[in-house]
Amino acid sequence: GEMLTYTMTVMHRQPALWRQCHRTAGIGVCRLHTSSSSASSKEHYKVLVLGGGTGGIAMSARMKRKLGAENVAVVETSEMHYYQPIWTLVGAGVKSVASSGRPTASVIPPGVKWVKSNVREIDPDANTVRTDNGMEISYQYLIVALGLQLHYEKIKGLPEIDDWEEFKIGSNYSVQTVEKTWSALQNFKEGNAIFSFPNTPVKCAGAPQKIMYLTDAYLRKTGKRATANIVYNTSLPVLFGIKKYADALWEIVKNRDIQVNLRHNLVEVRANKQEAVFENLDNPGETEVFEYEMLHVTPPMGPNPVIKGSSLADEGGWLDVNKETLQHNKYPNVFGIGDCTNLPTVKTAAAVAAQSSILDRTISKVLKNEKPDTKYDGYTSCPLVTSYSKVILAEFDYSGQPLETFPIDQSKERWTMYHMKADVMPPLYWHGLLKGFWGGPGPIRKIMHLGMK
């Protein structure tokens, strides 16, 4: 999906990736958990933001303008903040991974307190948060933007592989593995190029197939497509969740001779044999082994464990918020944004952008002891990159119906939409969304559709 960021501490070796990976509101964070010997200290803020990802930084900027920087703090452990949507193009060799990251210190609004630590525990009954470095922070209002967790370790055989490059495996979902995708693509000779989609909620549901279309384009460009078999094994019963865009994508996979296997879930990688094992979800216990020359892994994902272990979570472990106002269903001074929530929409940072303007309005009302009146419609977006020059811009809402910005058929591949993804959206992200000025394309949509049904 568009505008997803990923923040990660730098690890020295690949295996460190398995120790813990999770996202902060539109962000993934991989880190080692270490205990802190620092003495316990106490602080209080009017608004405490958990997570320095897309949602966390955007809301910090908005809260600074509303309440003053001295009243706002952000808890985030990572030194770097990454703009993740561009990783699709990094994996395909178009952009560099270095260009996708900026120091966290440069994106936290000036004057806002940066608590450089992990969240250890949230106690909403006492209005306090404890961090790994021994701090106890109390708050009047809490914004939870902790994102989701990546679970590469749930795929048997994967955690033991030190050198993904050697075994021709990549993943556009982490800063350590995105360049491995490009390496596997360049080194492809002949055989199966396999792309997986897990049997869990995911961030950016389009990303697993974007890199597949780019692989097809790259192999055609380099004269290797005739000796390649491109296979998309997805756990889903559909190619894409929204029919209008799914119909367009089915045409593309048929025209480009791409094999799609529905209800296939990656459960094991046998690197020494270059084999990937998929379970058939329609026939439990039945597995199928695929040889591969290139394997792109989309990891299983799940809720943030800090939320999952608290009274803030729903039964599935996600932050339990009102789907229209983003206010917590049990604690009225707690709010949520992004991938950590149970909002029934596709998890993208385009969704975070739209949510940020709604949440801004909700908190303004709550501060005045008034009832929130602006409602989030579930808007989310996924620019489906289908080649090195074309994109299908999928936009839709809670109802699963297209909610398109432009008065044209966005299910058609267009170079203008590719240009928007590759060149327009990154600066809009850094200078608009993260600074709290971009709240999604709603106002533009109204202008574009003026006088039209």
Q: What is the 3-state secondary structure (H, E, C) of 54-81?
A: HHHHHHHHHHHHHHCHHHEEEECCCCEE
pLDDT at 450: 80
Question: Would you give the DSSP letter of residue 166?
Answer: T
pLDDT at 86: 95
Buried b (16+ CB within 10 A) or exposed e, 82-91: bbbbbbbbbb
Contact predicate 358/374, CB 8 Å:
yes
pLDDT at 452: 59
pLDDT at 349: 87
- Report residues of the chain scoring pLDDT below 50: 1-39, 453
User: How many Cβ atoms sit within 10 Å of the Cβ of residue 195?
Assistant: 25
Tens of pLDDT along 154-174?
Answer: 999 999 999 999 999 999 999
Contact predicate 13/162, CB 8 Å:
yes
Catalytically annotated residues: 204, 382
pLDDT at 6: 35
Share of the chain above pLDDT 70, in %: 91
